[in-house]
Amino acid sequence: MGTSGEWNVGQLMREHYGGEVFNIGFTTHDGTVTAANDWDEPAQIKGVRPSIEGSYERLFHETEMARFMLVLRDNQQLSDQLRGSNLERAIGVIYRPQTERLSHYFIASLPEQFDAVIHFDRTTAVTPLEKSPATEPREVEETFPTGV
């Protein structure tokens, strides 16, 4: 993302606070996610497509471990093994499964991006804390039932 001129919070924090920041990345192979199709659109639960060959997510999936954490900071041997140009998937507020390769994968080097990585082989969508107006209970009007 940085090579294409895009900025993320982790990068901004690292530039401002340097080594005081501990950036943690999250990866998944498949599952579900709560995300929108585009900005300012309602969130919905979507299926996450299985990770693709050549990605960190697929490499982690092939360990056959349900979940694990890799601490990369101060672990030169592990960092050297993961360094290089691999694909990484970014899923956030927006997720477009129909254009996943183009919309969500980019070339990355995890040790240069994160101090630790937490992998969940299968993820489960979160329930939003904020309910949409259609699902929130409404206060009954003072004039009920005549003002209806």
Number of independent structural domains in the chain: 1
- Tell whether 147 is covered by a domain: no
Pick 10 or 28 by higher pLDDT. 28
- Tell whether 140 is covered by a domain: no
- Tell whether 141 is covered by a domain: no
pLDDT digits (tens, 9 = 90+) for 106-117: 999 999 899 999
Domain holding 105: CATH number? 3.40.1660.10
- Tell whether 145 is covered by a domain: no
Q: Residue 132 contacts by C-beta under 8 Å, 6 or more apart in sequence?
A: 42
pTM of the model: 0.80
CA dihedral 87, 22, 81, 33 (to 10 degrees): -40
Q: Which domain holds residue 79?
A: 23-123
pLDDT digits (tens, 9 = 90+) for 35-69: 999 999 999 999 999 999 999 999 999 999 999 99
Q: Which of 41, 16, 30 is nearest to 94 (CA)?
A: 41
- Tell whether 97 is covered by a domain: yes
Q: Among residues of the chain, what percentage have pLDDT more than 70?
A: 84
In whole angstroms, give the CA distance from residue 77 to residue 81.
6
